[in-house]
């Protein structure tokens, strides 16, 4: 009887230790790199989910909405100010982002990386 109790206690301890190790490993895994694991990266306008980058056609949400607002305010040449802020990275947003990044950086942007997004935000 005592042998069974000892075995049960050892099994419970092993499970507990494995749970703690997994929890620590999972926290460490989520914090590796600014773009991986759904880590929240904080900028001037509040938290932005870095895992949602690069932004590209078909994406929807608050980050796309913020990108559209940045294009409207930071890019000076028309038709940027005509971009509707709807949170949908469709063909109009793609074209406006491409023209905006070409104007500001001189390169074509088929998608918007986290670094490009932050650079536009900080201009």
User: Among 101, 44, 60, which residue's Cα sits nearest to residue 52?
Assistant: 60
Which of 78, 43, 77 has its CA nearest to residue 62? 43
pLDDT of 24 strictly over 80: no
Q: Which of 22, 52, 8 is nearest to 34 (CA)?
A: 52
What is the average pLDDT score of the chain?
74
Which residue from 60, 61, 56, 55 is spatially nearest to 118, judged by alpha carbons? 55
Phi, psi of 57 (to 5 degrees): -55, 140
Sequence-ordered strand ranges (E) for the chain: 40-43, 46-49
In terms of pTM, does the model score above 0.75? no
More confident call, 24 vs 10:
10
CATH code: domain 40-121 is 1.10.101.10
């Amino acid at each position: 009887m005592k042998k069974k109790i000892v075995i049960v206690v050892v099994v419970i301890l092993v499970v507990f230790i494995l749970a703690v190790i997994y929890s620590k490993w999972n926290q460490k895994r989520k914090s590796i790199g600014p773009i991986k694991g759904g880590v929240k990266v904080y900028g001037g306008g509040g938290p932005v989910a870095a895992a949602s980058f690069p932004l590209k056609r078909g994406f929807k949400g608050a980050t796309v909405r913020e990108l559209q607002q940045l294009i409207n305010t930071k890019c000076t040449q028309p038709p940027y100010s005509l971009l509707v802020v709807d949170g949908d990275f469709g063909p109009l947003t793609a074209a406006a982002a491409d023209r905006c990044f070409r104007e500001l950086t001189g390169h074509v942007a088929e998608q918007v990386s986290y670094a490009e997004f932050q650079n536009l935000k900080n201009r």
